[in-house]
Amino acid sequence: MTESPSRVEAFSDGVFAIAITLLILEIRIPHGEHGLWEELLALWPSYIAFLMSFVVILIMWVNHHELLRMAKGVNYPFLFANGFLLLTVTFVPFPTAVLAQNLATAEARTAVAFYCATFVANALCWNLLFATMVRGGLLHQDVTEEAVSKVRRAYYFGVLVYVAATALAFIRPVLGLLLNVSLWGVWITLGYRAEASASSSRS
């Protein structure tokens, strides 16, 4: 372990901030030829896709934040595991745009499945990153065994639910999306608990 996580944190924050802001470029600008109001309403799949991806990247940023607070330092494998995680984050605008373009068409199944599959890859990267932290001895001494296994269970669980959402999307795309969204609650609670325990252990 060689140094504090501050520069990795800054770089990761930059990537999260840019990816979340690029999402808006996915929405096509209507030109009002068929009535601007109707055209704006017809963009509802874009608004849903934008909103979903914005919230999920925001949650990921918060959790990345909490995860790095567990680390006393970073090593070389960590930089690359974190890089792969960021790869899946920068990829998000693409499946988001695919979802927006195809949610209201006969191809909704494929679009939703592709969207959910992106988060399977993302969830695997969170597992990889955490494993790198545990194996490399990068965790603070005050992180308990119990906290480690709680994070690990939540991350395994995330992979399973995203796989289920991907499979469900082929049958009922709307249910696949809803299952995907339902994970927000899990991540928010996880982060909330991590933060509460960090606060209490410090006070």
Element (H, E) at 53: helix 44-69
Residue 49's nearest CA partner among 106, 116, 107 is: 116
Q: In the window 82-111, what residues touch a copy of itself (CB under 8 A)? A: 83, 86-87, 90-91, 93-94, 97-98, 101-102, 105-107, 110-111
β-strand partners of 139 = 71
The contact mask relative to a copy of itself for 23-52 (x = CB under 8 A, - = no) is: xxxxx-xxxx--xxx--x---------xx-
**Residue 119's closest CA among 162, 74, 81, 156?**
162
Token pair listed for 54: 């914005």
137 near a copy of itself, judged by CB under 8 A: no
Kindly tell me which residue out of 4, 42, 76, 140 binds a copy of itself, with binding defined by CB under 8 A.
76
Helix (H) or strand (E) holding 75: none
* DSSP summary character for residue 29: P
Site residues, a copy of itself (CB under 8 A) = 1-2, 7, 9-11, 13-27, 29-32, 35-37, 40, 50-51, 54-55, 58, 61-62, 65, 75-76, 79-80, 83, 86-87, 90-91, 93-94, 97-98, 101-102, 105-107, 110-111, 114, 188, 191-192, 195, 198-199, 202
